[in-house]
A and B are shown apart, each in its own frame.
Chain A
Amino acid sequence: MRSRKPAAVLAAAVCGSLALAGCAGGPSAAAGKLSDGKVVIGLLNDQSGVYKDLSGPNSKVAIQMAIDDYKAKYGAKAVAKTIEIVTADHQNKPDIANTKAQEMYDRQNADIILDVPTSSAALAVATVAKARKKLFIDVTAGTTALTGRSCNKYTYAWAYDTAMLAKGTGEAVVKNGGKSWSIVYPDYAFGQDMQKSFTAAVTGAGGTVQQSIATPFPNDNFATFITKAGSTTPQVVGIMAAGGDLINFVKQYNQAGMQSKAQLAVGLMFITDIHSLGVDQFAGTSFTDPWYWNLDAKNKTWADKFLAKTGTRPTFAHAGNYSAAMNYLEAVQGAGTDNADAVIKQLDGKKINDVFLRNGQIRSDHRVVHDVYLAKVKSKDQVTEPWDYEKIVATIPAADAFEPVSAACKM
């Protein structure tokens, strides 16, 4: 032990002098310099499992589109001359998300992590971001906790949350006469969250929830649950399952002849779900969509570019990743550095109108509020081209679409 002491002193001295040198070089470094000469964007999502199609590898294409647009816009004036994307597969598991996020921030020098579907994984990454003091913009996870009790200075939620989906769909369907509901939900965090939000939204709008039925997750046989849901002859059956389970449910719902008896309302739906089940199985179904590729010419132009690169139409997650990456790079440009605290100053309170966000604003709790859309799935004869599946019934203005800032959020 004694012999090591001089070494420790020496190490401390070296560190100290390095730190001083760093300070001395400080002013010039802050003037438009990047931490390691480049900006590294980490894309952490499901690259192989159930959420692969709705975000997955194609989100990298979307982020690359943002990088290209940024470079084209600023050219020689761009602060970030070299921009890299690193990707990792979190397999929808919070423990893997945690490790991968640390790896990205520490070893790959990621300045920001994007996307991260699956609520539990997103919450894990938010914790890492807070500890490392690095940015995290979540796009594809739906939990309200990201900007509620688990909110922090370094974490933003860009696209949607469960409360917004419930408010949009629940209120609109009740207003259109769907007053009595049966809710079927998968019995895990996301499903329980959705069930609570929808019950609040439906009863708040003057409707009644006759029964809420919990189902196992994952599950491929919903026949008995459907019989049960129909037993009280509700006007609306609300299904909170996602992905493959949602498709199982809808197939069996239609096979049981329920389509003509009760209107179907879906909690969370991606356009890939409609594509994989076929439009006629979903025809007439109401849901809330944060973004739709064929809403207007602006969206369509972007979607055409995306189609040319990927061979498929973008989901709202793809557009959300583009928007998050673009606004991050703009903030780096504005700050003149990729230092997280400086970038946050640029982002906070920012009003945004881009291809993804309309009347968007970054709120104090780091939830991005924006106009969202009440959609109905078209019937087969209304579809004019591939992926043209949604009819936008109403635009829900940003101010009404989201819950107010939660008191539970303390940054």
Chain B
Amino acid sequence: MSAFVQYTVQGLAAGGFYALAALGLAVIFGVLGVVNFSHGACYMLGAVAAAVLLDVLHVHFWVALVVVPVLLFLVGVLMERLLIRWLLRLDPLYNFLLTFGLSLILVDVVKRRYGVSGLPYERPSGLQGQLQVGGIGLPTYSVFVCLLSLLVCGLVWLLLTRTRMGMIVRASTEDADRTRALGINVGRWVTPVFGFGIALAGLAGVMAAPFRAITADMGGNFVIILFAVVVIGGLGSILGAVVAGFLVGLVEAYGQAYAPTFAQVAIFVLMAGVVLFRPAGLFGRDETE
């Protein structure tokens, strides 16, 4: 029983990374219609930025949690302004290829500058060891990741549902043309939304820094699972991305615990199953209607 609770917490922690990053991916897809393949590279940039800031400027983990997403927001704005924007009118495939190429460049630039064996990161004080909850030892950091990612997802949810800005973004996601017809300048929101999506990937990266190897390649495997998450949740569905993120984390953890050989396959079997029975994903709307 105690092992089961531990696996669940660990699954939710792994899911927290997926949920945060997938949320960014979903927001970007919703508003811009861009499948951002460079999301994994942006996650990596977040972790590398946290490590470099700590090493060079002694920026503490807690500060990095705020500073790095802001930096990544700016990176996102630049990407959108300089590159993505010019291909928006074309087939979505063009931006997919553009962001794929961009991620290759980002990875190689980091490799060139920082090598391949990774960067050190000191463990943030206060998040080490285990928490004893009802006689069950839970890794403090896993609990922290769960809670923080739930909190951020909740805040984003409030932002999108309770504010005028959120309403505009949601309206643009639903039907950009009709929103324009109502006198809203949809184009003005495109850049900040893209930046925001990248910032979320960066935040996931900072959270990964004390927990995972910080290498140029760390986003490669991550982005593949991320796409599985988004497909399971429904492309462009914000709630879907979050729920599917945690779901995939749990499937991964239970898989590793009870059927290790099938742990990695399980995620993709789940994805195939969802696509088979609900082609638009768990929370996506069927666009063929």
Q: A residues bordering B, Cβ < 8 Å? A: 48-54, 187, 213-216, 218, 220-221, 223-225, 227-228, 231, 243-245, 247-248, 251-252, 254-257, 270, 272-273, 275-278, 280-281
Instruction: Given A216-B264, A224-B253, A227-B10, answer yes or no on A255-B210 (Cβ-Cβ < 8 Å).
Output: yes
Contact partners of A218 in chain B: CB under 8 A: 221
Instruction: Contact check, B139 vs A255: say whether CB atoms are below 8 A apart.
Output: yes
B179 within 8 A of A: no
A185 and B130 alpha carbons, distance in the complex (Å): 24
Instruction: Contact check, B260 vs A215: say whether CB atoms are below 8 A apart.
Output: yes
Within 8 A of A (CB), among B1-59: 3, 6-7, 10-11, 13-14
Which of B3, B7, B137, B211 is close to A255, meaning CB atoms less than 8 Å apart?
A: B211
Instruction: Contact check, B130 vs A251: say whether CB atoms are below 8 A apart.
Output: no
Contact partners of B140 in chain A: CB under 8 A: 255, 257
A250 and B115 alpha carbons, distance in the complex (Å): 20
Which of A231, A252, A276 is close to B118, meaning CB atoms less than 8 Å apart?
A: A276
A224 and B218 alpha carbons, distance in the complex (Å): 19
Q: B residues bordering A, Cβ < 8 Å? A: 3, 6-7, 10-11, 13-14, 111, 115-123, 127-130, 137, 139-142, 210-213, 215, 217-218, 221-222, 252-253, 256-257, 260-261, 263-264
**In the assembled complex, how far is the CB of residue A200 from the closest CB belonging to chain B, in whole angstroms?**
22
Instruction: Contact check, B260 vs A214: say whether CB atoms are below 8 A apart.
Output: yes
Contact partners of A228 in chain B: CB under 8 A: 3, 257
Instruction: Given A214-B260, A216-B264, answer yes or no on A221-B14 (Cβ-Cβ < 8 Å).
Output: yes
Which of A216, A227, A243 is close to B6, meaning CB atoms less than 8 Å apart?
A: A227
A255 and B212 alpha carbons, distance in the complex (Å): 10
Contact partners of B213 in chain A: CB under 8 A: 220, 244-245, 247-248, 251, 276-277
Instruction: Contact check, A52 vs B115: say whether CB atoms are below 8 A apart.
Output: yes
Contact partners of A272 in chain B: CB under 8 A: 117
Instruction: Contact check, B116 vs A53: say whether CB atoms are below 8 A apart.
Output: yes
**In the assembled complex, how far is the CB of residue A279 from the closest CB belonging to chain B, in whole angstroms?**
9
Q: A48-B111, A251-B210 are in contact. List 13 more A-B contacts (CB 8 A).
A: A220-B212, A221-B256, A223-B13, A224-B11, A227-B257, A247-B213, A248-B212, A255-B139, A255-B140, A255-B210, A273-B117, A276-B115, A276-B118
Contact partners of A52 in chain B: CB under 8 A: 111, 115-117
**In the assembled complex, how far is the CB of residue B286 from the closest CB belonging to chain A, in whole angstroms?**
33
Instruction: Contact check, A227 vs B260: say whether CB atoms are below 8 A apart.
Output: no
**In the assembled complex, how far is the CB of residue A84 from the closest CB belonging to chain B, in whole angstroms?**
26
Contact partners of A224 in chain B: CB under 8 A: 7, 10-11, 253, 256-257
**In the assembled complex, how far is the CB of residue A186 from the closest CB belonging to chain B, in whole angstroms?**
11
Instruction: Contact check, B118 vs A227: say whether CB atoms are below 8 A apart.
Output: no
Contact partners of B116 in chain A: CB under 8 A: 48-53
Instruction: Contact check, A257 vs B117: say whether CB atoms are below 8 A apart.
Output: no
Instruction: Contact check, B210 vs A278: say whether CB atoms are below 8 A apart.
Output: no
Sample 13 A-B pairs with CB under 8 A, ordered by A number: A50-B117, A52-B115, A223-B10, A223-B142, A223-B253, A224-B253, A224-B256, A227-B7, A228-B257, A244-B118, A256-B142, A257-B130, A278-B122
Instruction: Contact check, B3 vs A53: say whether CB atoms are below 8 A apart.
Output: no
A243 and B111 alpha carbons, distance in the complex (Å): 15
Contact partners of A248 in chain B: CB under 8 A: 212-213
**In the assembled complex, how far is the CB of residue A60 from the closest CB belonging to chain B, in whole angstroms?**
16
